[in-house]
């Protein structure tokens, strides 16, 4: 084998090595870019929002005759989403609020509402920086610490209900881990009220919940 032939072989080997290194670097860079943006199966998303709860009140029987209403509330909300697929997640929403009930007789007092909600979410454009999503699920609402009354007589309410929930929102990625969030939900919840053992009717609260906040991807 001549010297020039050996040099050609050596040059080809070096070129092949450099090409292989370049491909590996490109793949590593692409993987790094992929990790920088988007969400993927196994990710956990944690969001903290400020939410405005706007009841859409419906009543019947005596509650309707008394024109009973429920005031708005602004409170914090915490939620956790686990991505079971790149585009599919399960979200648990936690938050509690206190609402005052009004009527033609005046203020009827306040009641606390705790509606943990479980939603199945579909995330669009999961690999991008702007990621809209929609969700549907169920909520369990606990009514507690109520101080409802009509004059000196206490008003009793049932302490829980089940109902559906719908959701739409968007996450906008800011850094590798941090994103901002806007979210709107419709939650169906109700309670039955009674006074001295006599039914006053059903109170449907059914709020629209609008939230803005921040989130972290883990």
**Is the confidence at residue 12, as pLDDT, over 80?**
no
Question: Whole-model pTM?
Answer: 0.79
**Is the confidence at residue 205, as pLDDT, over 70?**
yes
Of 91, 79, 139, 90, the closest CA to residue 113 belongs to: 139
Domain segments of the chain as ranges: 1-36, 39-217
Per CATH, domain 39-217 is 2.40.160.20: yes
The three-class DSSP label of residue 55 is coil
Provide the token pair at 189: 């919840």
Which of 44-58, 129-143, 150-164 is least confident? 150-164
Of 6, 33, 69, the closest CA to residue 173 belongs to: 33
Biggest alpha carbon distance in the chain? 111
**Is the confidence at residue 54, as pLDDT, over 90?**
yes
Radius of gyration, CA atoms only, the chain: 28
pLDDT tens for 70-115 read: 999 999 999 999 999 999 999 999 999 999 999 998 899 999 999 9
Q: Which residues pair with 93 in a beta bridge?
A: 79, 117
């Amino acid at each position: 084998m001549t010297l020039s032939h050996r040099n050609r072989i050596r040059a080809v080997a070096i070129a092949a090595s450099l090409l292989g290194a370049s491909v590996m670097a490109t793949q590593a860079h692409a993987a790094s870019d992929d990790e920088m943006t988007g969400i993927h199966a196994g990710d956990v998303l944690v969001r903290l929002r400020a939410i405005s709860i706007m009841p859409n009140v419906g009543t019947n029987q005596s509650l309707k005759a008394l024109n009973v209403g429920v005031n708005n509330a602004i409170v914090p909300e915490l939620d956790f989403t686990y991505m079971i697929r790149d585009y599919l997640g399960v979200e648990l929403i936690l938050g509690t609020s206190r609402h005052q009930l009004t009527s033609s007789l005046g203020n009827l007092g306040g009641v606390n509402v705790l509606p943990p909600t479980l939603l199945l979410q579909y995330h669009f454009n999961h690999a991008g920086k702007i990621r809209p999503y929609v969700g549907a699920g169920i909520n369990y609402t606990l009514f507690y610490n109520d101080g409802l009354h009509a004059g000196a007589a206490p008003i009793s309410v049932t302490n829980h209900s089940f109902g559906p929930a719908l959701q739409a929102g968007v996450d906008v990625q800011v850094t590798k881990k941090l994103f901002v969030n806007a979210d709107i939900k419709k939650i169906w919840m109700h309670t039955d009220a009674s006074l001295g053992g006599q039914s006053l009717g059903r109170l449907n609260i059914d709020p629209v919940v609008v939230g803005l906040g921040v989130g972290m991807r883990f």
